[in-house]
């Protein structure tokens, strides 16, 4: 079948799409999401079909091509495009198998992951894979196979170093910005720690968002390898380098449904660690009754699977289970968190003690894992490196090596200009600070896209307060968002005083 090309002037950034007029499609018995094999002379492509309802969009006898397909076919308006129906990729039958409740073998999972990476699956197919994993669950064998497939589908850092340290938190606790303190601490002890972090998905700030306030977090891969050798590590945004690239596409489907299939989460985390060549991982599992990990039993279950799969892919996983029931540090939002962590690194009295303590404990644990300290002595080494200013010096070195300024002063990081305050409605002791409520207020105020917006906590759990005491300050970039966030704080302040 031959049709005339029409340049649709649209790009998807991934999947290849062609559009037929509805009448043409009906006549040829084609449906949306059918795959077409299209040819322009010797150039060939497989594209997904969309249907245009009107003559205006795609006239009869024409085939609308998106940028990706135009490029592959080297086609332009008016070219004669030959096409016929293409077979579905092999992976569709494996997705169907998973939907039917059967276990997938490594070959089948690898085929699916490859087709995800190369944009060969439609939204319908990808979604059914993700939801099937969620509703049917995944076996250890499946998670292991998926971890390997995800790791091998992307780039790898090739570091001739041992050990290569890494740290990761399951997340869900606002302000828990230990990574930018731990990484310089670990590197200051002479260890290698090539750290990639994510941006916020549903939280007021991800580590990459916070670091971006201070320095450059998008660097070319070759530079990363150089930094690992010369500086001992780096702190960058993982999304910019194609480590485990299937992951982003899976998250894009999970995000709107707000689901996080356990097997996929484990595979995704460990695949990224494999990609940077990590040999030792400290995994933080915060427990919060209302959060991602609600109790000890769930934490222990995760710890076991991570350790098991980690061992099979060459990553020695150690876990630390922490109290995740209230925010860590004072600032929540990129700039507010950045100020906090600089104060901790410079031993300023404004540095939040809980953030300092947690970072020291975790870095200490990593020293013991790496054999830098004897068991029980890691904390002391971490304390020494922090108090002496060595960790801060390493931090400054890293920031600068990544293309940031020579020196960063916490006070010079700008905050959003509009503020409002939330004060204690009565006297008593703070018995609860709800993570979700605080995160919601910070997001209403514009975090993380407004870097300077968020919430600054003046009081923590167990503090005794008098009616009228300042509990937190909200920062927003414009009056609308400020009003929204302040109203949120009145509906559910997040603080329980008794």
For position 179 contacting a copy of itself by CB under 8 A, the verdict is: no
Exposure b/e, 465-497, CB count within 10 A at least 16 = b: beeeeebbbbbbbeeebbebbbebbeeebbbeb
For position 208 contacting a copy of itself by CB under 8 A, the verdict is: no
Tokens describing residue 438: 């605080």
Q: How far is the CB of 257 from a copy of itself (least distance, A)?
A: 6
For position 127 contacting a copy of itself by CB under 8 A, the verdict is: yes
Nearest to 333 by CA among 220, 438, 432: 438
Please count the residues of the chain. Answer: 498
∠ CA 88-90-92, nearest 5°, is 70
For position 420 contacting a copy of itself by CB under 8 A, the verdict is: no
For position 304 contacting a copy of itself by CB under 8 A, the verdict is: no
CB 455 within 8 A of CB 333: yes
Toward a copy of itself, which CB reaches closer, 6 or 372? 6
Size of the site for a copy of itself (CB under 8 A): 52
Give the separation between CA 4 and CA 60, rounded to whole angstroms: 9
Is 260 labeled as catalytic in the residue annotation?
A: yes
Toward a copy of itself, which CB reaches closer, 10 or 467? 10
Give the separation between CA 243 and CA 263, rounded to whole angstroms: 18
For position 492 contacting a copy of itself by CB under 8 A, the verdict is: no
Nearest to 415 by CA among 337, 484, 346, 485: 337
Toward a copy of itself, which CB reaches closer, 345 or 445? 445
For position 253 contacting a copy of itself by CB under 8 A, the verdict is: yes
Residues 6+ apart with CB under 8 A from 486: 420, 422, 474
For position 95 contacting a copy of itself by CB under 8 A, the verdict is: yes
What is the per-residue binding string for a copy of itself in 24-43, x denoting contact by CB under 8 A? Answer: ---xxx-xxxx---------
Number of Cβ within 10 Å of residue 87's Cβ equals 9
For position 257 contacting a copy of itself by CB under 8 A, the verdict is: yes
Kindly name the residue from 248, 260, 354, 469 that is annotated as catalytic.
260
Q: How far is the CB of 486 from a copy of itself (least distance, A)?
A: 18
For position 347 contacting a copy of itself by CB under 8 A, the verdict is: no
For position 12 contacting a copy of itself by CB under 8 A, the verdict is: yes
Toward a copy of itself, which CB reaches closer, 200 or 401? 200
For position 101 contacting a copy of itself by CB under 8 A, the verdict is: yes
Cα–Cα distance list, 276 to 128, 283, 394 (Å) = 30, 16, 20
Toward a copy of itself, which CB reaches closer, 62 or 358? 62
Query: With CB under 8 A as the contact rule, which of the stretches 122-130, 286-294, 365-373, 374-382 interacts with a copy of itself?
Result: 122-130
CB 167 within 8 A of CB 195: yes
The full DSSP string for 20-31 is EEHHHHHHTT--
CB 66 within 8 A of CB 39: no
For position 259 contacting a copy of itself by CB under 8 A, the verdict is: yes
Q: Which residues bind a copy of itself (CB under 8 A)?
A: 8-13, 19, 22, 27-29, 31-34, 50-54, 56-57, 64, 67, 88, 92, 95-96, 99, 101, 122-125, 127-128, 130-132, 134-136, 200, 252-253, 255-259, 448-449
Residues taking part in catalysis:
260
């Amino acid at each position: 079948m031959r049709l005339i090309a029409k340049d649709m002037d649209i790009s998807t950034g991934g999947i290849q799409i062609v559009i037929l007029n509805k009448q043409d499609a009906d006549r040829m018995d084609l449906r949306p999401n059918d795959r077409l094999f299209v040819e322009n002379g010797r150039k060939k492509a497989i594209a997904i079909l969309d249907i245009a309802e009107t003559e205006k969009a795609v006239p009869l006898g024409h085939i609308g091509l998106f940028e990706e397909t135009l490029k592959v076919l080297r086609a332009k308006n008016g070219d004669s495009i030959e096409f016929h129906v293409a077979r579905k990729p092999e992976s569709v039958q494996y997705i169907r198998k998973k939907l039917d409740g059967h276990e997938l073998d490594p070959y089948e999972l690898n085929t699916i992951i490859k087709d995800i990476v190369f944009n060969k699956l439609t939204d319908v197919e990808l979604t059914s894979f993700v939801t099937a994993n969620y509703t049917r669950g995944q076996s250890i064998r499946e998670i292991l196979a998926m971890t390997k497939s995800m790791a091998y589908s992307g780039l790898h850092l090739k570091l001739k170093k041992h050990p290569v340290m890494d740290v990761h938190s399951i997340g869900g606790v606002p302000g828990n910005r230990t990574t930018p303190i731990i990484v310089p601490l670990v590197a200051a002890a002479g260890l290698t720690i090539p750290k990639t972090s994510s941006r916020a998905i549903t939280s007021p700030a991800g580590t990459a968002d916070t670091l971006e306030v201070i320095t450059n977090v998008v660097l070319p891969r070759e530079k990363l390898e150089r930094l690992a050798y010369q500086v001992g590590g780096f702190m960058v945004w993982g999304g910019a380098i194609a480590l485990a690239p299937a992951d982003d596409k899976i998250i894009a489907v999970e995000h709107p449904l707000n689901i996080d299939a356990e097997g996929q989460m484990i595979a995704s985390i460990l695949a990224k660690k494999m990609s940077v060549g990590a040999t030792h991982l400290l995994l933080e599992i915060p427990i919060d009754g209302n959060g991602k990990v609600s109790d000890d039993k769930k934490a222990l279950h995760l710890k076991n699977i991570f350790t098991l799969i980690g061992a099979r892919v060459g990553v020695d996983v150690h876990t630390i289970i922490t109290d995740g029931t209230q925010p860590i540090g004072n600032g929540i939002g990129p700039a507010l968190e950045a100020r906090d962590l600089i104060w901790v690194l410079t031993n300023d009295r404004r540095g939040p003690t809980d953030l300092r303590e947690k970072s020291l404990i975790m870095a200490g644990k990593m020293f013991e894992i790496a054999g830098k300290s004897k068991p029980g002595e890691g904390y002391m080494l971490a304390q020494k490196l922090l108090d002496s200013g060595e960790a801060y010096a390493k931090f400054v070195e890293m920031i600068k090596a990544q293309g940031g300024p020579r020196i960063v002063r916490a006070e010079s990081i700008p905050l959003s200009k509009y503020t409002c305050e939330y004060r204690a409605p009565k006297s008593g002791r703070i018995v609860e600070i709800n993570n979700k409520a605080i995160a919601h207020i910070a997001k209403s105020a514009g975090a993380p896209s407004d870097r300077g917006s968020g919430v600054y906590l003046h009081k923590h759990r167990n503090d005794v307060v008098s009616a009228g005491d300042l509990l937190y300050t909200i920062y927003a970039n414009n009056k609308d968002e400020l009003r929204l966030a302040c109203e949120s704080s009145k509906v559910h302040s997040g603080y329980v005083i008794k």
